[in-house]
Homo-oligomer: A and B are copies of this chain.
């Protein structure tokens, strides 16, 4: 089934990319944007969605500084 893993910098961890975006926006004429956080989006096709948690913490995210969230994109039953 199709799944998505959202990887975000943990709360309290500095996010330099987000800071850079937030600072660049006013110069482009966009006001009123705040709390920009930039993470990774991983989309994949997986036979056994039960493995996603282990895959995410071992390979996709760095649990010291990142949180991850798993979204299953099809309603096929998880095994």
Interface positions of A (Cβ within 8 A of B)? 6-8, 18, 21-22, 24-25, 28, 30-48, 51, 54-55, 58-60
Return chain B residues, CB-CB under 8 Å to A6: 41
Do residues A38 and B42 form an inter-chain contact, with CB atoms below 8 A? yes
Do residues B44 and A31 form an inter-chain contact, with CB atoms below 8 A? no
Can you list 15 pairs linking A and B with CB atoms under 8 Å apart? A6-B41, A8-B43, A18-B42, A21-B42, A34-B44, A35-B44, A36-B43, A36-B44, A37-B42, A37-B43, A38-B40, A38-B43, A39-B40, A39-B43, A41-B41
Return chain B residues, CB-CB under 8 Å to A28: 55, 58-59
Return the chain B residue nearest A54 by Cβ.
B30
